[in-house]
Amino acid sequence: MHNWTKWLRKISESMRKAFKWLKINLFSGNVRIVPKLSLYFILIIFSLIYIEPILYMVSMSFKSFSDLSDPTAKWIPKDGTLINFKFAISQLKIIPRFTSDKTFWQTISSSPMILSIITAIPTAFIQMFTCAFVGYGFGKLKVPCKRFLIVLLIFAYIVPPQVTFIPTAWVFKNFRLINTPLAFIVPALFANGIKSSLFILIYMQFFRKIPNELEEAALIDGAGYLKIFRRVMFPLAKPAKITVFLFSLVWHWNETYLTSVLYPSLNTMSTVIATVKEGTDYTYFAGNSYNFLQVKMASCLLLIAPILIVYIFTQKHFTESIERTGIVE
Amino acid sequence: MKKGVVICMKKLKIETKQKMIGFAFVSPWIIGFILFSAYPLLYSLYMSFNKVKISGDKLKMQWVGFANYNKALFQDAEITNSLIKVLQNTIIIIPIIVVFAIIMALLLNEEFKGRSLIRAIFFLPVLLTSGNLIESLTAQGQGSISFLKSDTINNLIAGIGGSWGDTLKAVLDSFLIILWYSGIQMLILIAGMQSINPSVYEAATIDGAGKWESLWLITLPNLMPFILLSTIYTIVDQFTAPFSKIMNVIKWHTQNVKTGYGYASAIAFLYFLVIMAVIGVAALLFRKSITNKRGR
């Protein structure tokens, strides 16, 4: 008769013990194994879900036609083939063919990959320099109406490109910048590339954190401010430089809206992958319709491959050195 | 007294000299701003009050006052529809992105082995924000997370119905891609968390606070300015995403001979006003953190 009360007491005691254990292990400030393991577990599973589309893209690019309908070959293709890449390269005309009737520039710019590289990399480099220049001015020097100019900076960032792209296109036409990579390079020369206000702010916060004594010592040694910038400040800004370079490169590389406006006839990688459509092909697929999905994924992979390579080399510099970048105060 | 005047003049000169140097450093940006931002903006504003026709290589303007705005707001149903749709979309998407960025930043700030690799993985989608790539991925069904496609959720949404149901369904269809937009916000928030003094946490642990309490009472209040920054960034990012409906509407009207550039500029300015309103709402919600912000 009294058994069930004993049972109840036992259960409630064990529950209380379990709660106490949970409370000690999960919610106290001590570092125990259980929360670490659960953290790892959550993060690994979540990162796999997060990059699943990228893994899908990579695995699709290597699949042949039979792998699509093969349920056992979901991630790793059984019939791995490079034909999708070959077809994408030939259809997107990535490798330029030098013929005698076209100028050097025409053949080079007919290849989307080379065109993207010519457009994005110089722009990123130039932005890295000019935004540092302006950011140093805002951060360390006395600028008249500084507050007003910073408000203008933020305003320039908030204004959507749709509001200004029509007159901008006309301005570029008048300067004959349209349809050339200069359409991106010239604004970058004036620290007005894509999202450049962000970069100026990054540099500004970074330079503000550098103590004034450094500047004063250089001034005592007789350096002018230009020399201070060139010799002292700019080399110091390495984390910020790498961040700005990578962001600028990525945004210019992936830009589709502005390119379609300022650059209507030319084809950068990011606009050209939209032209992959269904159809048949004789060279690689013996007159059958080609693997549209796989080829599309292969062309996407070709699009992001150069950026991924740059990312692998530079990501350590800003994911781990955020403290020194001083992106925000 | 003469010496005082001389010294006064010298001081003034040094100050102006420094101001000139500062101005010289900032001048490239000012020139670029005038050429590529201010002039197009003002010209676009001027165009929105005109009916613009292209004759040959020049633009012919015909002043119509507020007629373009009238037409856009009160007569053209397509525009109000797309504006409302865009607003609905962003009201749902922005909190999702910011909350996800906060959670991930909290997780990624912990010390553990392989942290840089996981941070690199979570930051990777920032490289992939090309519009065409995302469109290709969504077209092949990679946009959402598989367990969100279950039947129970579909039935729930069907129950809501109407335009909100459509928006919810569209959001769930590309949920993962939406989460991809939170890379930079994570960066901002992690940087923000680094700026909190660790001794505050130690003092709190001494006083007996657990991890949960220190999260809510120390971390989150100190992160408020950065959360505001991330929210504003997300708002601007989402509204200037190239594949929202209103972009196409604007683009189409620029090609349209009947309505022309003037009309397109009017729509663009209305869009701009909507963005400012949303940013204003966000700033209002976070107004306490603005007053503590230094330097601006």
Instruction: Please indicate whether, in this complex, the C-beta atoms of A43 and B107 are within 8 angstroms of each other.
Output: yes
Tens digit of each residue's pLDDT (9 = 90 or more) over A54-63: 888 888 888 8
Is residue A29 within 8 Å of residue B211, measured between CB atoms?
Answer: yes
User: What are the backbone dihedrals phi and psi of residue B81, each rounded to the nearest 5 degrees, phi first?
Assistant: -60, -50
Query: At the fourth CATH level, which superfamily is domain A111-325?
Result: MetI-like (1.10.3720.10)
User: What are the backbone dihedrals phi and psi of residue B55, each rounded to the nearest 5 degrees, phi first?
Assistant: -120, 110
The residue type found at A134 is V
Is residue A249 within 8 Å of residue A310, measured between CB atoms?
Answer: yes
Is residue A207 within 8 Å of residue A135, measured between CB atoms?
Answer: yes
Among chain B residues, CA nearest to A141: B22
Is residue A70 within 8 Å of residue A78, measured between CB atoms?
Answer: yes
Contacts of A196 in chain B (CB under 8 A): 29
Q: What is the domain partition of chain A in residue ranges? A: 3-91, 111-325
Tens digit of each residue's pLDDT (9 = 90 or more) over A31-43: 556 677 787 888 8
Instruction: Please indicate whether, in this complex, the C-beta atoms of B28 and A270 are within 8 angstroms of each other.
Output: no
Tens digit of each residue's pLDDT (9 = 90 or more) over A100-140: 777 777 777 778 888 888 888 999 999 999 999 999 999 88
Among chain A residues, CA nearest to B59: A170
Which residues have CB under 8 Å from B99's CB, separation 6+?
none
- What are B141-145's contacts with CB under 8 Å, separation 24+? B142/A52, B142/A53, B142/A56, B142/A57, B142/B176, B143/A53, B143/B173, B143/B174, B143/B175, B143/B176, B143/B177, B144/B172, B144/B173, B144/B174, B144/B175, B144/B176, B145/A49, B145/B175, B145/B176
The structure tokens listed for A163 are 């509001």
Q: What is the domain partition of chain B in residue ranges? A: 2-48, 67-129+181-291
Percent above pLDDT 90 for chain A: 6
- H, E, C per residue of A220-248: HCCCCHHHHHHHHHHHHCHHHHHHHHHHH
Instruction: Please indicate whether, in this complex, the C-beta atoms of B271 and A163 are within 8 angstroms of each other.
Output: yes
Tens digit of each residue's pLDDT (9 = 90 or more) over A165-208: 778 887 888 887 777 788 888 888 888 888 889 899 889 888 88
- Give, rounded to a whole angstrom, the gap between the first and last alpha carbons of chain A: 69
Q: What is the pLDDT of residue B98?
A: 93
A156 touches chain B (CB under 8 A): yes
Q: What is the pLDDT of residue B293?
A: 47
Distance from the B127 Cα atom to the nearest Cα atom in chain A, whole angstroms: 6
> What ipTM was reported for this prediction?
0.82
A174 touches chain B (CB under 8 A): no
Instruction: Please indicate whether, in this complex, the C-beta atoms of B265 and A187 are within 8 angstroms of each other.
Output: no
Instruction: Please indicate whether, in this complex, the C-beta atoms of B44 and A164 are within 8 angstroms of each other.
Output: yes
Region B67-129+181-291: CATH code: 1.10.3720.10
Half-sphere exposure of A77 (CA within 13 A, CB side): 20
Half-sphere exposure of A45 (CA within 13 A, CB side): 6
User: Quick check: pTM over 0.95?
Assistant: no
How many CB atoms within 10 Å of residue A261? 19
Mutate to test the interface with A, among B19, B23, B25, B244 (most CBs of A within 10 A): B25
How many CB atoms within 10 Å of residue A41? 10
Which is more confidently placed, B51 or A249? A249
Pick out chain B residues at pLDDT < 50.
Answer: 293-296
Distance from the A124 Cα atom to the nearest Cα atom in chain B, whole angstroms: 14
- H, E, C per residue of B204-236: HHHCCCCHHHHHHHHHHHHHHHHHHHHHHHHHH
Distance CA B130, CA A307 (A): 12
Q: What is the pLDDT of residue A265?
A: 67
Distance CA B228, CA B224 (A): 6
Q: What is the pLDDT of residue A236?
A: 87
A33 touches chain B (CB under 8 A): no
